[in-house]
A = this chain, B = another copy of it.
Amino acid sequence: MKKIEVITRTFKLDDVKIALTDLGVKGMTVTEVKGFGRQGGHKEVYRGAEYQVDFVPKIKIELVVEDERVAELVDAVRDAAFTGNVGDGKIFVSPMDEVVRIRTGETGDEAI
Residues of chain A having any CB pair with chain B under 8 Å: 2-3, 7-8, 17, 26-38, 54-55, 58, 60, 64, 74, 77-78, 81-103, 105, 111
A38, A74, A97, A100 — which one has the most chain B CB atoms within 10 A of its CB? A100
CB distance from A21 to the nearest CB of B (A): 8
In the assembled complex, the Cα of A98 lies from the Cα of B13 at a distance in Å of 21
Q: Are B103 and A85 in contact (CB under 8 A)?
A: yes
Separation of A102 and B54 alpha carbons in the complex (Å): 20
Known pairs A31-B31, A37-B27; A90 contacts B78 (CB<8 A): no
11 additional contacts (CB under 8 A) given A26-B38, A90-B111, A91-B99: A17-B54, A27-B36, A27-B38, A29-B58, A29-B60, A31-B32, A77-B102, A84-B103, A89-B103, A90-B99, A94-B94
